[in-house]
Amino acid sequence: MNGQVKRAFRYRFYPSEAQAVELSRTFGCVRQVYNLALQARTEAWAQSGERIGYEATSALLTMWKRTEELAFLGEVSSVPLQQSLRHLQTGFTNFFAKRARYPRFKSRKKSRASAEYTRSAFRWRDGALTLAKMVEPLDIRWSRPLPDGAMPSTVTVSRDASGRWFVSLLCEDPGVIPLPAADSMVGIDAGLDHLLILSTGEKIGNPRHEDRDRTTLAKAQRALCRKQKGSNNRTKARIKVARVHARIADRRTDYLHKITTRLVRETQTLVIEDLAVSNMIRNHSLARTISDAGWRQFRQLLEYKASWYGRDVIVVDRWFPSSRLCSVCGALTAVMPLHVRTWTCVCGATHDRDVNAACNILAAGLAASVCGAGVRPQRNTPGGQSATKQKSLRCEPQESPLSQGKQVKRGTPDRSG
């Protein structure tokens, strides 16, 4: 990588009253331009089947600034407005490539308030950051140092629902280099009683961050419901609820960062399961606990850190029966309810459900890395009769736990997850 990795360093800052007003106006203008451009592109396609891109919307922005109704767009820095058009173009590119759904309009109440500045719209001098249209630099709390000689390429300013202000500086980090190669490998099974279960037998606890503040959160939410809509008291109550959520999310993120950093440093090959979290939270009995576990965030952190430090992440197909498969003889149990935590196979081996699943996930991932994606070996029941008729490939291990597996696939490290 040789210092070519661009890394975002996020800090909290405290704006002055004038800076807060200027940034709030900028956030509103960014949202307005994004929505106007999305509307223009949607109408052009609906009326004439015409696709208009970034250049056309940029020309429209110039026209909007000249109108009486939208003249206020010219009172803020033009760079964040242009960046919002580029973000919209990226959204359409991902939509046409079938990587995302159709872009949606930004809501004043629900959308993230943010603005992105490129080098032409900020001044970085002696560790002080000054944005366009501002006289004084931002009062940033430098919780960690930037890399030596770092020069931010873009700066993103944002405000969360609890009213906290953040600035994110994107710059190259020469400290991100591949770690020395290791011969260790581990299979990882996600759970609820324990957050992660490793094929080595180690179980990483689930702190259940939301449980610690559930009473405080419920009290704040009840107070919010009693406030009249549109009143200042309701705004204050909403901020109190948002602060509790922010505290929970910060603890969860910190915990997952520590776990993923440790796993990437110690292990060369990490095998995980492809979980459909959005489908799993439809189970109303487990939705709160699953959401609090942060499985999706764990995968995102693990994959981009592995790509930074030269580690391999292999993703096993979500339909692979890791829990019902004996890691010793390869026999497949037909049914295994969630309350069954230990079970004994017909071969006499007694398994911890989660550790057994992690071992099977590791074996499936290693087979995929050797044989290639698309392995669909024969699946057998404990009695030896074929449960489903599937074609066996020549790379099938005849006497291994993988002789029961379904399709596995190699995951490409990707920060977007």
pTM value is 0.81
Among 172, 273, 303, 317, the one annotated catalytic: 273
What are the backbone dihedrals phi and psi of residue 80, each rounded to the nearest 5 degrees, phi first?
A: -60, -30
Q: Is 317 a catalytic residue?
A: no
Q: Would you state the structure tokens that stand for residue 307, as one six-digit string?
A: 């790509």
Instruction: With cut-offs at 50, 70 and 90, classify the pLDDT of residue 403.
Output: very low
- CB of 81 closer than 8 Å to CB of 33: yes
pLDDT at 243 over 90: yes
Q: What's the mean pLDDT in 342-357?
A: 86
Q: What's the mean pLDDT in 223-245?
A: 95
Burial class (CB in 10 A: 0-12, 13-18, 19+), 270: buried
Instruction: With cut-offs at 50, 70 and 90, classify the pLDDT of residue 9.
Output: very high
Quote the mean pLDDT of the chain. 86
CB proximity list for 59: less than 8 A, separation 6 or greater = none
pLDDT at 89: 96
What are the backbone dihedrals phi and psi of residue 345, each rounded to the nearest 5 degrees, phi first?
A: -80, 170
Q: Is 126 a catalytic residue?
A: no
Instruction: With cut-offs at 50, 70 and 90, classify the pLDDT of residue 374.
Output: very low
Per the model's pLDDT, the better-predicted residue between 32 and 370 turns out to be 32
pLDDT at 116 over 80: yes
Q: Is 354 a catalytic residue?
A: yes
Q: Would you state the structure tokens that stand for residue 69, as one six-digit string?
A: 């109704």
pLDDT at 386 over 70: no
Q: How many separate helices (H) and strands (E) can be counted in the chain?
A: 10, 16
Q: Which of 342, 317, 339, 335 is nearest to 382 (CA)?
A: 335
Per the model's pLDDT, the better-predicted residue between 398 and 141 turns out to be 141
pLDDT at 276 over 90: no
pLDDT at 126: 87
Distance CA 108, CA 3 (A): 39
Among 22, 189, 303, 317, the one annotated catalytic: 189
Among 172, 173, 317, 354, the one annotated catalytic: 354
pLDDT at 404: 39
Most confident of the following: 79-83, 283-287, 306-310, 402-406: 79-83
Which residue in the block uniquely carries the two structure tokens 């451009």?
37
- Cα 115 to Cα 11, 79, 80, 81, distances in angstroms: 15, 9, 5, 8
pLDDT at 372: 56
Mean pLDDT lowest among 132-146, 244-258, 383-397: 383-397
Buried b / exposed e along 105-131 (16+ C-beta atoms within 10 A): ebeeeeeebbbbbbeebbebeeeebeb
- CB of 180 closer than 8 Å to CB of 9: no
